[in-house]
Structures are given as structure tokens and as C-alpha cells.
Amino acid sequence: MSIRGRAYIAGAYEHPGRNLPDTSIPQIHAEVAIGALADAGLSLGDVDAYYCGADAPGLGGLAMADYLGLSLRHMDSSDMGGSVYMSHVGHAAAAIAAGKCRVALITLGGRPRTTSLRAPGQLMGEPPEKSFEPIFGTNVSALYALAAQRHMYEYGTTSEQLAEIKVAASVHAQYNENAMLRKVVTVDDVVNSPMVSSPLHRLDCCLVTDGGGALVVVAPDVAKDLDRQCVKVLGHGEAVEHTRGGWQDITVTGGVRSGADAYDEAGVRPADIDYVGLYDSFTITVLLALEDLGFCKKGDGGKFVLDGALQSPHGRLPFNTDGGSLCNNHPANRGGMTKIIEAVRQLRGEAHPAVQVPDCALALAHGTGGWLSTRMGNATVILGREDA
């Protein structure tokens, strides 16, 4: 069953806060939920399906349904790291197409900047890799740096090329009044910033912020009755990539498969896409996504991002026009949600005028959750204007 045109994103909301020491995690989820529903012209009483990831506190969806007073027919609390919100858009669209629900709410919220990375009460046991990887000193930045180092070795990619991704994000963030980092940086600024894990510098790394975001996905008949421009869900794909018993190519992500499935369902090609929202946990994450989603050949990502290619409105492929996780917001250390929210803004023509893509008709949002070099969840959604 194809989900093309079977569901619409009617509401999107990004929490304006980046440092929220006096706001609880359930409250963040509630505030973004109410914000997205208000954006759609709906209320909590209209919601009959709820989606969340591991950032939701306590028993996740069960706890939040109680907290928000939701009356649900359908719920999904599966998790794929920061890519889960793209996954949930696809899952919600499929559930709507199957008649399981009509108004699906998806929320994200967390406070990693002012508290620990995990919300209290999460039921997370020890992972199976604990005895094999962390004891040798692996951490998040090192795993991404390993992929970057290998890409440099295989294809001649340079730190200066990676820096172009940060530069583009900073050019966009200067126009976002809520962005955490609004200063425009240069390639020299990036490569001369302190080394975190070779070859990645401090400015190659994403932010750590409090905050959150939410989306409302609705059935076509609901969208038709709303006094709001909605965004059509055209295609979705997801893939899990892991170590494959030691045979993993760490320069390739699951985006190869999730992107292909999304394109096929939407009936479009990479050349048709006007705007991309790419999870930018590190600059290397973006570069690999550009290659694996078919915007350039494997190994050509470093060349592709040169000459302002990612800068809106005149670059060949504008990306993350809110500043992304590199400069704007990385709520709960999960950047997928904000990539969809900005894609919705672009398709509605509601991005900042300085970075609005002219006549934006098709957008792609892609997440890479988990860790490059080991195991990751990848999810891709393709969205179109209401008349698409």
C-alpha cells in the first residue's frame, strides 16, 4: 500500500527555547504539542493517535497520553534515534491510510543542555555492544570522526570541504532569531577551531540544546476542512544499517536504501527536489547523506558542497535554512524533528524571506540516528505542496 497523498502534515511547531532549566520534559512535550495543534487549527481532543521516541519520559507514549489527556486509537513509540521523527511521519501516514486513525500527533522534547542526556525513568538496559566497544574508548564524536577519516582516505575529502557545510548552516542561522549560534563563520574559522576527534573540529559538531518540536499528520478529509495550508506526504523509506559482523563500509549509510524507497513511492528523482533538510549531527553526516541520497556520486560529496551549493536561495541544493543542528537547535540531541519542521515552512513559503527557496514545491527530510561507523537508523520522507 502506497502512502502517497494519503496523509498531510497540517501542523508544525518548534519550541523557541534552547536553555530550559525550569521546564520539565513532559511540559516541553505538552507545549510543542499544543503549538503544533494550534498551527493546524486543531486541539488535543481531536487527536486519536500519538507517536514518540525514547525522549518521551517514563513509559513514553502511555505516560504522555495520560499527561496530555489524549483519547487514542493508535500509538507508536518505536525508536530510531534522531531519525525516528521521519519514521513516525511515514508510520502515521500508513496508519491513516489503513483507517487506524485520522489525526496523529508526533512530539519531541528534552533537556540535555541543563540535565543528563536521558530523561528520568527511561527503561533502557545495557546494550549488547557494551563489553566490546565503550571499553576501548569509543564515543559519539570518535565514531563519526572514524567515518570522516575513512572518507578522506578513500576519496580525498578535505577538512575545508566539510567546513563548507558549517558555513552554509551559519549563513542561514543569522536570519533565525531563535538560533543558538547566529554568527556567520568562515572555512578558516571551522578548520582552526579546536580538534575534537580527528579530523572533526569543534565547529564540525552539532549543538546541545534543550527544547523540542511537534508535528500533526492528518487524513485528507481532515486537511480539506482546515483553514490552513497543509503539506502532502508523498514518500517514505527507512533502513537499519549496522556492523554486519565486521563487513560494514563506514562511508555508506542506510540512506542509500531509505532514500531509494522514498523516491520510488513519491515517483520523483533527486534532481526534482527543491530543498533538503538533512540531519547534521556532524558535518560528515550531511556529506554522506548527500551522496547516499543520490545528489552526487559516492566520493564526490566534498566537491558537491563547494561554491555555496547548500546556501539558499541561490545554491544548487539549499539545505537546513533554519541553521540546522549545527547552528540553530538540536533538541534532546535528536535533530530529525526540526528538519521536517523547516521543510514544512519552506513548502508553505513561511521560511525567512532571506532563505526562502523560490517556488519550493518538493522537499526531502532525512535523518541518520544512532552512530556512523557502527549502527544507525535512517529514515527519509518526501513532502510536497498541497497541490503537488
Contacts of 3 (CB under 8 A, 6+ apart): 90, 93, 94, 97, 233, 235, 236, 265
Question: Domain 7-115+210-230: which topology?
Answer: Peroxisomal Thiolase; Chain A, domain 1 (3.40.47)
User: Residue 84's pLDDT is what?
Assistant: 96
357: DSSP letter:
P
Residue 120 has pLDDT above 80, yes or no: no
Q: What sign does the dihedral 32-37-38-40 (CA atoms) show?
A: positive
> In the chain, pLDDT over 70 holds for what percent of residues?
97
Q: What is the pLDDT of residues 4-37, one digit of tens each?
A: 999 999 999 999 999 999 999 999 999 999 999 9
Q: What is the pLDDT of residues 237-246, one digit of tens each?
A: 999 998 888 7
Q: What is the pLDDT of residues 331-363, one digit of tens each?
A: 999 999 999 999 999 999 999 999 999 999 999
Distance CA 299, CA 156 (A): 8
User: Residue 122's pLDDT is what?
Assistant: 45
Q: What is the pLDDT of residues 279-338, one digit of tens each?
A: 999 999 999 999 999 999 999 999 999 999 999 999 999 999 999 999 999 999 999 999
CA distances (Å), origin 145, targets 22, 167, 175, 294, 334: 34, 19, 30, 22, 19
**Residues 110 and 331: beta-carbon distance below 8 Å:** yes
Task: Tell me the pTM.
Answer: 0.95
User: Residue 124's pLDDT is what?
Assistant: 55
User: Residue 247's pLDDT is what?
Assistant: 81
Domain ranges of the chain: 7-115+210-230, 139-206+233-384
**How many CA atoms, within 13 angstroms, populate the side-chain half-sphere of residue 8?**
22
Whether 139-206+233-384 and 7-115+210-230 are alike in CATH topology: the answer is: yes
Task: Report the CATH architecture of 139-206+233-384.
Answer: 3-Layer(aba) Sandwich (3.40)
Distance CA 175, CA 326 (A): 14
157: DSSP letter:
-
User: Residue 116's pLDDT is what?
Assistant: 58
**Number of other residues whose CB lies within 10 A of the CB of residue 348:** 18
